[in-house]
Structure 1
Amino acid sequence: MTVLPSWPARTVAVLAVVHLDAPMLIPVSEPVRADGRTILLSVHGAQASALRGLDGPPEVAVLILAEGSLAFTARGTARVVAQPMAGAPDQAVVEVAVTGIEPWEPVIEHGSLALRQLAVTRMRCRIAAHGDF
């Protein structure tokens, strides 16, 4: 995979900030594919402030779990592009400049157990992001 695939609007993701001593995991609902190498995420303002406080742009990994067995990890760097976010003052927009994409096809090919595990992970991310499913 050399460019980001398209995914449906109701997709969940996990943003992992790997630039820190201990990784920070941020559940994200409805990531936006801005173009073939850019993802836009809405994160809570406090988490965005933590990203801004790092020395240089943080290295991140974005795990995308979408309907239709689409799952991949996009690696790159993140920067806060809007804080607060228009229409949501407690949120900020984080832009991820993607430098690498790792598809999960081998995991999904192992059958229904892997798909069930992905579904459970997706549900947990939605609950963490919204408090419901």
Structure 2
Amino acid sequence: MGRIVALDYGKVRTGIAVTDELQLIASGLTTVETKQLLNFLRKYVEEEKVERFVIGEPKQMNNLPSESEELIKPFLRTLQGVFPKIPVERQDERFTSKMAFQTMIDSGLNKKQRRDKALVDEISATIILQAFLNRKK
């Protein structure tokens, strides 16, 4: 088995989370500038066996795609072109930022630490990945 890599894709930054090789545990990996994302993923795929990508799917409350989905579509095409053998799946990402912020509060991070948007993105990617794992069980 290989790892599953989840992305909380954003215009400026993208949070990244991965599973262990047995695909049991979702862990935050890092946050990278979106313009550096493909280079980061190329290096990561060279070093680790990646079985699939899971990309957050932003939806509105009425289940329609949110405006940010238009930013993600071109990236999805590029990702599939760069990694044609690695399947890409989507996972609803509604409320992940709020859940990430609450996770930061619950874990005792102070106000200054909670303002770290990169950390919020990484935690959001982890929540997306864990939701994907739960859905697949």
- TM-score over 0.5 (shorter chain): no
Greater strand fraction, Structure 1 or Structure 2: 1
Normalising by structure 2, we get a TM-score of 0.33
Structure possessing the higher relative contact order (Cα contacts under 8 Å, 6 or more residues apart): 2
